[in-house]
Amino acid sequence: MTTKQNGFFSRLCQAAAALGGSPEPESAAGTTPPDEPSRLKSHIRTLELDIEERETRIKTMQKEFDHFSRQAERDREGAGSAEIQALAKRLAPILSQVPTMRAMHAEGAPVRQEDLLRLFEKVERILQETGLTPIGQVGESVRFDSRLHQRMSGGDLSDGGTVQVRFVGYHINDVILTKALVSRED
């Protein structure tokens, strides 16, 4: 065996040993046993097959992950849609009264304010049951909080100053939908 071939074979043996193999050491004369190259080739092929199998498993797991991610997104969208439908179903009987009241008013029939207020109280109650929470009550004196309140008019307000709620704001959980409109307390 030439020096060049011997150096290559030595590096190949070291690589195989590093990959978990345990090639037979070279004989004392500096030559390798005749079956050593075929044993190394077989070991390398086994390692290549292991790598291919792992790559196939990784690809399969990636496809499964993508499938489950898409399914979770569809489930979230479906849940949101179902919640909106449930809310609309609860509000529809109440809201169906509005066009009737509008038609009565157009024909000159009286529409009582009490009926309208009662109608909107029902709407408000249903929305509060779904998580809509008012920020303050009209006429209430509160400490100004720029996260929850918006100045209606007058000079600058700083957090902690006393203000009066003029229009109620709303939030759901930690999301502010509309700030309460406030003014300086008289």
Integer angstrom CA distances of residue 38 from 1, 9, 13, 35, 74: 16, 12, 12, 6, 54
The predicted model scores a pTM of 0.52
Q: Where are the domains of the chain?
A: 133-186
* Average per-residue pLDDT for the chain: 84
CATH 3.30.70 for domain 133-186, yes or no, is no
Alpha-carbon distance 88 to 93, whole Å? 9
Residue 95 dihedral angles phi and psi, to the nearest 5°? -70, -25
* Residue-wise pLDDT tens digits, 122-174: 999 999 998 999 999 999 999 999 899 998 876 777 788 889 999 999 999 88
* Residue-wise pLDDT tens digits, 23-64: 555 544 455 566 788 888 888 988 988 899 999 999 999 999
Report the percent of the chain where pLDDT is more than 90: 50
Residue 28 pLDDT: 46
167 vs 22: which has the higher pLDDT: 167
